[in-house]
Amino acid sequence: MAVNLTILVITQLLLFLVGLFYIKWHINLNRWDKPFFSALIVNGTWFVIGMVVGLTIYSLIGQNLFTDILIIIINAFIGLGILISIYKNKWLRSLEIIGLAQISLFITTIFINFLFDIVDIFLIEGNDNLNYAKFTFVLFFLTFSGIMVFILSWGDKIQLVKLRRVVVIVSVIPGLLYLIAMFISQQERFFDNNIPNLVISFTFSIITMVGARIIAYKTIPIQELRELNILEKGESLLKVKNLKVYYPLLKGVLKRQIGAVKAVDGVTFEIKTGETLGLVGESGCGKTTVANAILGLIEKEDGEILFHEESVPNELTSYLRQKIQMVFQDPDASLNPRLKVTNIIAEPLKNLLGITNKMRIRRRVLRLLNQVSLKREHMDRYPHEFSGGQKQRIIIARALACNPELIVLDEPTSALDVSVQAQILNLILDLQEEYGYGFLFITHNLAVVNHIADRVAVMYLGKFVEVGETDQIFLNPVHPYTQALLKSHSEIDPFDQDIKYVIDGEVPSPIAPPPGCTFNPRCVSDNRTPECEFETPHQIKIEEGHYIWCVNPPNGVEDIEETD
């Protein structure tokens, strides 16, 4: 009786750990709150009640097939009640989760019982035949597991299945169960029947694998199977709400924080599919920091970043790394000089899409090069054999490789000749027109923004000062800083080569920004008042979609929207 009780307790503890892992995995999969804490509550409650019920039934009736089935049914109802009460799910959804959990725990129970039987057999000091059987079983167990996992990883399509580990586990289980059952039942004779046992085990698992793959392939979104995904324009893609990014100021040997640089201080914007948002401003105003926060390269202090209405974590998942790509400013710093173009573009294909077939990689690289107006002979060249414009095309091709939806372009044309700039900009516009990508375009060049952007956001010292449609910003600039930027934009005029306008002063230090309006020390607006020195700018609506952040509304504007 004591031995049975010990086995029961050990079994329940192992089942608790398996159940904890399963519930935590399911909570993570469905993106519920506090995955580990919630899993601990659900499974801990389930474990305690299940132990009491199990011990009661075993002490009254004894252990047999009927009691095992009865305990499974009772545990299912207990788990169902706990899950519904904690997560307020519909009973059908909760029943599905608990049903899968009970199947997992039932299979785990079989493995645990087999484990006790195997331990008993290995403790027997038998003859040579039994020793040979033990050695053969261990060898076959490890070989079978390794080969099956290897076979299940073959192919490009399986890499697109999000739950491919589940496919592996489900496929391996039948073969392992048969192999273990044969060892327990045959013991000494297992050595003589080793080949038939191994063949039948492989047969069971391969049949299961084929069925599991067929089911799993139906879960792959159709756009993942296309070479380049075509997006429907006008749908919400990225939303940034009150984004703040602070860099700590450290001092002394102990690196004590004495303050913070407010690199980005509460910006809000949205990008839709097929739309380009131009982000402009002087150097050091926080444009690149916004991009880095979206990409998860730096941690945000506050605010929310939503991609398809779902919150973006600080560390991007594989899916988000696939859907959000970046084109950097310097093509030479972005390309590995030791890799050929094929290998450079193949990196996201291998790491994010799981494509491993060499011929398929080359075909896809060739299509991508064609998309950016490069040729087949460029595939096997090194970066130093290309011009600056061609290198930037390669970087764009690499960004397109994994079917992105949002592409962040951080001054992609600033290092290029004017004629090459036009080619790259037209290429970007053509790609957007054809595939519906959303672009965040960061630049100093106002002419480029006017050419490529649908909407423009003007930044100054970590904050937006004016946002609007491109025509609204360029034809009717309202904020003094936007007006100054446009006035300082130089035009090529052989008869008038004088610099017409220069913004007075320099951008204040973000370590100690001026109080009130941060642009106040440089402002030359007629509406400037003493209040600008201590009042925080508020949002002012000029017209639909056109806003500025200023202390004093311009003449004739009465529609003011106060912001925090």
The larger pLDDT score, comparing residue 51 to residue 246, is at 246
Q: Taking residues 205-230, what's their average pLDDT?
A: 66
Q: Please indicate, yes or no, whether residues 204 and 249 belong to a single structural domain of this protein.
A: no
CA distance 239 to 504: 34
Boundary-marking domain end, from 195, 224, 253:
224
pLDDT average, residue stretch 544-559 = 79
Question: 502-534 as b/e, with b when 16 or more CB fall inside 10 Å?
Answer: ebeeebbebeebbebbbbbbbbebeebeeebee
Residue 169's Cβ-count burial label (10 Å; 0-12, 13-18, 19+) is middle
Tokens of 329: 């400013």
Q: CA–CA separation, 79 vs 83, rounded Å?
A: 6
Alpha-carbon distance 548 to 537, whole Å?
Answer: 9
pLDDT digits (tens, 9 = 90+) for 373-419: 888 889 899 999 998 889 989 999 999 888 889 999 998 887 777 77
In a domain, 374, yes or no: no
185/275 same-domain check: no
Tokens of 313: 């974590």
**What is the pLDDT, as a whole number, of residue 192?**
77
Domain total in the chain: 2
Provide φ and ψ at 181, rounded to 5°. -60, -40
Asked if residue 354 lies in contact with residue 159, where contact means CB atoms within 8 angstroms, the answer is yes
319 and 258 within one domain:
yes
pLDDT confidence of residue 152 = 65
- Cβ burial 416-445 (10 Å sphere, 16+ → b, else e): beeebbebbbebbeebbeebbbbbbbbbeb
Domain boundary pick from 200, 224, 248: 224
Phi/psi at 519 (5° precision): -90, -5
pLDDT exceeds cutoff 60 at 117:
yes
- Report the CATH number that the domain containing residue 454 is assigned in CATH: 3.40.50.300
Q: β-pairing, 438-442 with 276-280?
A: parallel
With 0.85 as the threshold, say if the pTM is over it.
Answer: no
Provide, rounded to the nearest whole percent, the portion of the chain with pLDDT above 90. 18
Give the Å distances, CA to CA, from 327 to 288, 391, 410: 12, 11, 6
Look at residue 109 and tell me whether its pLDDT is greater than 70: yes
- State the pLDDT confidence band at 35, using cuts at 50, 70 and 90: low
The reply to whether 371 falls in a domain is no
Residue 225 has pLDDT above 50, yes or no: no
Phi/psi of residue 264, nearest 5 degrees:
-130, 130
Whether 185 and 243 share a structural domain: no
Q: Which of residues 139 and 128 earns the better pLDDT score?
A: 139
pLDDT of res. 90: 63
**507 in Cβ contact with 282 (< 8 Å):** yes
pLDDT band at residue 423 under the 50/70/90 scheme: confident
Residues 122-138: what's their mean pLDDT?
A: 75
Decide if pLDDT at 222 tops 60.
Answer: no
pLDDT digits (tens, 9 = 90+) for 260-295: 888 999 999 999 999 999 999 888 889 999 999 998
Q: Are the CB atoms for 245 and 301 separated by under 8 Å? A: yes
Q: Which residue, 114, 214, 211, 113, is CA-closest to 161? A: 214
| Residue-number span of the structural domain to which 283 is assigned | 239-335+401-561
439 and 297 housed in the same domain: yes
Please report the pLDDT score of residue 126 as a whole number: 63
Q: Please check whether residue 440 lies inside any domain of the structure.
A: yes
Give 370-378 contacts, CB < 8 A, sequence gap 24+.
Answer: 371/228, 371/397, 371/400, 371/431, 372/396, 372/397, 372/400, 372/427, 373/427, 378/341
Inside any domain, residue 538: yes
**DSSP β-bridge partners for residue 272:** 236
Identify the residue with better confidence: 187 or 384: 384
Q: Please name which of 374, 377, 413 lies closest in space to residue 390, comparing C-alpha atoms.
A: 374
Residue 433 token pair: 């027109």
- Measured distance CA(47)–CA(175) in Å, rounded: 29
Q: What is the pLDDT of residues 526-539, one digit of tens each?
A: 788 888 888 889 89
- Name the residue with higher pLDDT: 290 or 206: 290
- Give the model's pLDDT for residue 1: 46
- Of 167, 189, 224, the domain-final residue: 224
How does the average pLDDT of the chain come out, rounded? 79
Q: Which helix (H) or strand (E) holds 260?
A: strand 256-272
Q: Is residue 367 part of a domain?
A: no
Q: Is residue 366 part of a domain?
A: no
Are the C-beta atoms of 95 and 79 separated by less than 8 Å?
A: no
pLDDT > 70 fraction of the chain, expressed in percent and rounded: 75
More confident residue, 144 or 400: 400
| Arithmetic mean of pLDDT, 226-248 | 82
Beta bridge partners of 468: 456
Look at residue 365 and tell me if it is in a domain: no
Q: Could you write out the DSSP letters of every residue in 339-393?
A: S-HHHHHHHHHHHTS----HHHHHHHHHHHHHHTT--GGGTT--GGGS-HHHHHH
Residues 179 and 299 in one domain: no
Whether residues 117 and 207 fall in one domain:
yes
Strands 406-410 and 324-327: parallel
Which single residue is written with the structure tokens 């097939």? Answer: 65
Long-range contacts at 560-564 (CB < 8 A, ≥ 24 apart)? 562/538, 563/538, 563/539, 564/242, 564/266
Could you tell me if residue 383 is inside a domain? no
Confidence (pLDDT) at 240: 95
pLDDT higher than 50, residue 98: yes
Mean pLDDT of 121-135: 74
Report DSSP state, residue 213. Answer: H
Tell me the pairing of strands 302-307 and 463-469. Answer: unpaired
DSSP 3-state of 224: helix
Closest CA to 138 of 86, 179, 81, 173: 179
Per-residue confidence (pLDDT) for residue 438, from 0 to 100: 93
**Pair 327, 252 in one domain:** yes
Q: Are residues 53 and 183 in the same domain?
A: yes
Residues 210 and 243 in one domain: no
Strands (E) located in 398-477: 406-410, 438-442, 455-460, 463-469
220 and 246 together in one domain: no
Neighbouring CB atoms inside 10 A of 403's CB total 21
- In this prediction, residue 32 carries a pLDDT of 55
